[in-house]
């Protein structure tokens, strides 16, 4: 039994993946608490999906895929905000428009590159592709996200809980929303290697949704969320290590769903 746990640790790629999931899990679970509590699941899904054209475009043009991903996510957020500010378009449909346009653009760009096989990792993530330089980027973005959340904790909490009072005090709730969207864009950049454009959103939503069932204060929700992300991430990596039929991204997401299910079934209703 112990052998089964220790054996993968001899592989450098496995260690790097573990570190990557711990870092991005911390960032995404804490950020996810706001995403879930503010009902921003759809917009965060749109941001993470629309990373695709950014990454593919960056690969075609030959610059860093992380910059491309960040640019694409920010473009989606800005586009959706602009569309929603016009009359006659609700925020929901504005986000939907940006999501479909960006994702279709990503598919079109993939066709340009003439190879679908290489891009499976972009869509669903690939555990072996996490290199040392990727770890540096993941660590930096996760640190930036956590720093932002800590520094603005009381403003973000206030704006999420009682927007009107935040406006009354001058704590700029609209600006806080923009900050959160920016942090979600940053956070999704941290996950894109491991989970790909399609599955990244799971790391924002599943652990935080579990945390909301278990925590009684916002820091508790974040802590539970981080625990679940860690549990699911590590479990998923082991699962895909031993069951080659399960890709790592899918394994992580499935294992993150287990604590949610358990909490849903067994947590005392509040």
Partner 1 sequence: MRHFIKSLSPRLGEAFFAVLPSIPYASQEKERCPGEAITAQGLSAAARVDGPVAFHDATFEIPCGCRAALIGPNGSGKSTLLRVLAGLTPIRSGEIRVAGETPRLGRSRIAYLAQRPQLAEHFPIKLRRLVQMGTYAHHGWFEECHHGDEAIDRALAQLGLTELAERPVQTLSGGQRQRALIARAVVQGAEILLLDEPYAALDQPSREIIDRFLFESGATFTVLMATHDPADLGRFDRILEMRGGTVLTRHACSGHDHRHA
Task: Please give the radius of gyration of the chain, using alpha carbons only, rounded to the nearest integer.
Answer: 18
| The one among 151, 174, 178, 243 contacting partner 1 by CB under 8 A | 151
What distance in Å separates the CA atoms of residue 210 and residue 70, rounded to the nearest whole number?
A: 27
Which tokens is 75 given? 């473009």
- Whichever of 160 and 188 has its CB closer to partner 1, that residue is 160
- Whichever of 86 and 216 has its CB closer to partner 1, that residue is 216
Helices 218-242 and 248-266: angle between axes, nearest 10 degrees? 130
Contact status: 81 vs partner 1 (CB under 8 A):
no
233-252 residues in contact with partner 1 (CB under 8 A) are none
Contact status: 84 vs partner 1 (CB under 8 A):
no
**Residue range at the interface with partner 1 (CB under 8 A); choices 15-23, 58-66, 168-176, 226-234:** 168-176
Contact status: 215 vs partner 1 (CB under 8 A):
yes
Site size toward partner 1, by CB under 8 A: 30
What distance in Å separates the CA atoms of residue 191 and residue 142, rounded to the nearest whole number?
A: 9
Q: Are 102 and 53 in contact (CB under 8 A)?
A: yes
What distance in Å separates the CA atoms of residue 230 and residue 26, rounded to the nearest whole number?
A: 8
Q: Are 143 and 187 in contact (CB under 8 A)?
A: no
Contact status: 220 vs partner 1 (CB under 8 A):
yes
What distance in Å separates the CA atoms of residue 33 and residue 25, rounded to the nearest whole number?
A: 12
Contact status: 86 vs partner 1 (CB under 8 A):
no
Site residues, partner 1 (CB under 8 A): 37-38, 150-155, 157-158, 160-165, 167-172, 212, 215-218, 220-221, 270
């Amino acid at each position: 039994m112990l052998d089964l746990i220790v054996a993968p640790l001899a592989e450098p790629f496995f260690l790097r993946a573990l570190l990557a999931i711990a870092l991005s899990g911390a960032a995404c679970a804490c950020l996810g608490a706001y995403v879930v509590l503010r009902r921003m699941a759809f917009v965060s899904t749109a941001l993470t999906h629309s990373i695709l054209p950014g990454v593919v475009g960056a690969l075609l043009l030959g610059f860093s895929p992380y910059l491309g991903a960040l640019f694409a996510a920010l473009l989606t957020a800005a586009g959706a905000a602009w569309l929603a500010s016009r009359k006659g378009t609700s925020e929901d449909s504005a986000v939907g428009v940006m999501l479909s346009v960006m994702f279709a653009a990503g598919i079109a760009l993939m066709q340009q590159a003439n190879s679908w096989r290489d891009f499976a990792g972009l869509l669903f993530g690939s555990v072996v592709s996490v290199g040392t330089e990727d770890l540096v980027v993941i660590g930096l973005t996760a640190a930036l996200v956590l720093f932002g959340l800590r520094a603005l904790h009381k403003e973000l909490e206030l704006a999420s809980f009682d927007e009107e009072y935040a406006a009354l005090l001058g704590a700029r709730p609209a600006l806080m929303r923009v900050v959160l969207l920016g942090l979600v864009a940053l956070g999704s950049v941290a996950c894109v290697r491991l989970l790909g454009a399609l599955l990244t959103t799971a790391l924002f939503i599943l652990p935080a949704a579990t945390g909301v069932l278990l925590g009684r204060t916002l820091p508790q929700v974040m802590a539970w969320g981080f625990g679940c992300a860690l549990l699911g991430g590590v479990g998923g990596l082991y699962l895909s290590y031993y069951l080659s039929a399960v890709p790592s991204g899918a394994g992580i997401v499935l294992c993150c769903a287990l604590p949610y299910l358990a909490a849903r079934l067994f947590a005392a209703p509040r």
